[in-house]
Amino acid sequence: MVDSFGVTARDIKGGRVLELSGELDVSTCQGLVSKLVGVPGSLVVIDLSKVSFMDSSDLGVINRARRTAMEEGGVLVVSRPQPMVHRVLQITGLDIWLADWDPQWSAQPDGNGRAETNRSTS
């Protein structure tokens, strides 16, 4: 069975929104932390609305990216998890990372914004 995993990045005022999609497990975490960082001092929003499964290896990746953001004066939050992923965050106590979705994060950037999509299969 081939499962598709992807990361779509979009610039917003003051940071980036990273939309993850598919199933996140040990096979998808390799190299993911480098995709989850933003400009030092910026906001990084990880949109989990299209993630159907997440295991502890990817929670570790998000935690490393979050620590990096904080060390560089920025903020990393997660938002819109599916019920199964939300439950994993609750069980592990990592639901403190959750932020309510800000409608500005959905808006298309003005002029200089860009979107990147990275897809992989495992």
For residue 89, is it within any domain? Answer: yes
For residue 44, is it within any domain? Answer: yes
Q: Mean pLDDT lowest for which of 17-21, 29-33, 111-115?
A: 111-115
Q: 50 - beta bridge partners?
A: 21
* Residues spanned by the domain of 19: 4-100
The number of domains in the chain is 1
Q: CA-to-CA distance for 15 and 22, rounded, in angstroms? A: 23
**CATH label of the domain that carries residue 85:** 3.30.750.24
pLDDT tens-digit series, residues 86-122:
999 999 999 999 999 999 998 765 544 445 555 544 4
- Provide φ and ψ at 4, rounded to 5°: -95, 135
Q: CA-to-CA distance for 10 and 16, rounded, in angstroms? A: 6
pLDDT tens-digit series, residues 47-62:
999 999 998 888 999 9
pTM: 0.84
